Amino acid sequence: MEQDGIRLNKYLSDAGVCSRREADRLIEEGVIAVDGTTASVGTRVLPGQSVTMRGKAVSLTKKDDKVVLAFHKPRGVECTSDRSNPDNIIDYIKYNKRIYTIGRLDKNSSGLILLTNDGDLANKIAKAGENHEKEYLVRVDKPLTPEFLYRMANGLPILGKKTAPCRVQQIGECFFRIVLIQGMNRQIRRMCEYLEYRVVALKRVRVMNILLGELPSGEYREVTPKELAELRKML
């Protein structure tokens, strides 16, 4: 730890508690303390200081203990570390280390989600923002048209802004593949709704170079060293 300390949200992320954004929310809730004193956003943790969350000690993750998982999230599981939520992803997986999701996948969608206790990696992916690909398979409630495919690929106004151009490929009468470089809230569902289509099923099959492949629903695997090296190079 640096001599002048590290920001508390980074400490919590590096400890595998949650993302930095989620850490700021927990700090604002008043459930994080440093040396017994309730912390505030922007607090720095100095060498030798103790950090607790709801009274339980939080320690930094050693380099050798860092892990990145690829998980096939079923519908109905929520990408939250909040254990008070009965559908939270952490209790569903029951992994033996403290981990959290990198990004989100909404409750009614299925497919690939990455989880980790490596705060630096999670932060780099978050900072990459709209510069990394995510691929989805989508089934809608009525036949696709050339106009639908064209407009989906060339941007639509949702949430006060126009979506970035993306790749769209029809693979069935009501079924298509889409590759996004954005992560707007419920983006694909909102895009379809704008064109008066309803998403029936949505599955994420790739995040950057990590593929869902044949991983069964509800199962996870460790991301391989080769995949991780490629991922870091892309970042």
Per the annotation, the verdict on 64 as an active-site residue is no
Q: What is the spatial distance between Cα 89 and Cα 187, in angstroms, rounded to a whole number? A: 21
- Per-residue pLDDT tens listing for the chain (235 residues): 555 789 999 999 888 888 888 899 999 999 999 999 999 998 999 988 999 999 989 888 776 688 999 999 999 999 988 888 999 999 999 999 889 999 889 999 999 999 999 888 888 887 766 678 999 999 999 999 999 999 999 999 999 999 999 999 999 999 999 999 988 889 999 999 999 999 999 999 999 999 999 999 999 999 999 999 999 888 7
pLDDT score for 3: 59
How far, in Å, CA of 122 to CA of 164, rounded? 23
Greatest Cα pair distance, the chain, in angstroms, is 62
Could you give the CA distance from residue 72 to residue 58 in angstroms, rounded to a whole number?
Answer: 28
Alpha helices in 140-224 (DSSP H): 146-154, 187-194
C-beta of residue 67 within 8 angstroms of C-beta of residue 210: no
Determine which helix (DSSP H) or strand (DSSP E) holds 70, and give its type and residue range.
Answer: strand 68-73
| Angstrom distance (rounded) from CA 48 to CA 61 | 15
The model carries a pTM of 0.82
Q: Is 82 exposed, middle or buried (0-12, 13-18, 19+ CB in 10 A)?
A: middle
User: Which alpha helices (DSSP H) does 83-118 contain, by range?
Assistant: 89-93
Place of tokens 């920001």: 7
The DSSP code for 64 is: G
Rounded CA-CA distance 60/17 in Å is 9
Q: In what order do the strands lie in the sheet with 37-38?
A: 37-38, 32-34, 51-53, 56-57
Q: What are phi and psi of 85, to 5 degrees?
A: -85, 120
Query: Rounded CA gap, 138 and 158, in Å?
Result: 18
What is the Rg, in whole angstroms, of the alpha carbon atoms belonging to the chain?
Answer: 19
Catalytic residue among 4, 14, 106, 118: 106
Kindly give, in sequence order, each residue whose CB lies less than 8 Å from that of residue 47, ignoring residues fewer than 6 positions away.
Answer: 1, 3, 5
Asked if 132 and 138 touch (Cβ cutoff 8 Å), the reply is: no
> How many residues comprise the chain?
235
